[in-house]
């Protein structure tokens, strides 16, 4: 069941769903709009292999920039984050979507799921258009549709991205990898 604006406002008022900062004008008919943060991580072209089972120096595959505006080059892949910190209760989950205005500019956003129990800023991958597009920190950029789970989670999210601030680069749990 997807939550309506009425249900979402009750979740937020009762602090079961936390969105900081929250602006009432971002509450939509069936979700909440979130703003683009002020940091971008551009994926750097490289012939070096990023081994998901043991590449040291993951930061070398990204160029992290902080600014009030960013130009996404044609077909460029970047990571961005939301300005907002969210805390999802264990009886909800969220689908992060690109606002349609940005989709109409040719920008793509792969599926991003928010698990019940997640807390932090949301890191989002975006794929550039056929032409350069300038984005501005603070713009309403993403839309989250919240769905009620049939029952609260027995194991709410407590993974490696819990509490992330700004952009979180990939983190590989090498201890749990098969040898």
**Of 90, 84, 68, nearest to 144 (Cα)?**
84
Active site residues: 125
Would 157 be classed as within a structural domain?
Answer: no
Asked if the structure places residue 174 within a domain, the reply is: no
**Distance (Å) of CA 13 to CA 5, 38, 60, 73, 173:** 12, 27, 42, 40, 37
Question: What's the domain count of the chain?
Answer: 1
In the predicted structure, residue 54 carries a pLDDT above the cut 90: no
pLDDT digits (tens, 9 = 90+) for 126-171: 999 999 999 999 999 999 999 999 999 999 999 999 999 999 999 8
Residue 39 is assigned to a structural domain of this protein: yes
Domain contains 164: no
Range of the domain at 40: 5-44+62-151
Residue 165 lies in a domain: no
Write the CATH number for 140: 2.70.40.10
Tell me whether residue 23 is in a domain.
Answer: yes
Would the pLDDT of 55 be above 80? no
Indicate whether 37 belongs to any domain: yes
- pLDDT, the chain, mean: 94
d(CA 31, CA 146): 6
Residue 53 in this model has a pLDDT that exceeds 90: no
- Name residue, tokens 């309403």: 140
As a whole number of angstroms, the distance between CA 38 and CA 26 comes to 18
């Amino acid at each position: 069941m997807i939550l309506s604006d009425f249900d979402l406002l009750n979740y937020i008022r009762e602090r079961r769903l936390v969105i900081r900062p929250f602006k009432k004008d971002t509450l939509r008919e069936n979700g909440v709009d979130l703003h683009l943060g002020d940091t971008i991580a551009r994926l750097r072209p490289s012939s070096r292999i990023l081994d998901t089972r043991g590449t040291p120096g993951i930061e070398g595959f990204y160029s992290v920039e902080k600014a009030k505006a960013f130009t996404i080059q044609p077909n460029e892949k970047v990571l961005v984050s939301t300005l907002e910190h969210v805390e999802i209760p264990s009886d909800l989950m969220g689908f992060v979507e690109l606002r349609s205005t940005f989709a109409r500019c040719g920008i793509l956003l792969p599926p991003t799921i928010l698990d019940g129990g997640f807390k932090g800023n949301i890191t989002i991958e975006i794929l550039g258009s056929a032409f350069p597009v300038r984005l501005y920190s603070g713009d309403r950029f993403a839309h989250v549709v919240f769905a009620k789970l049939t029952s609260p989670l027995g194991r709410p999210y407590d993974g490696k991205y819990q509490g992330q601030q700004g952009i979180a680069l990939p983190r590989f749990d090498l201890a749990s990898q098969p040898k």
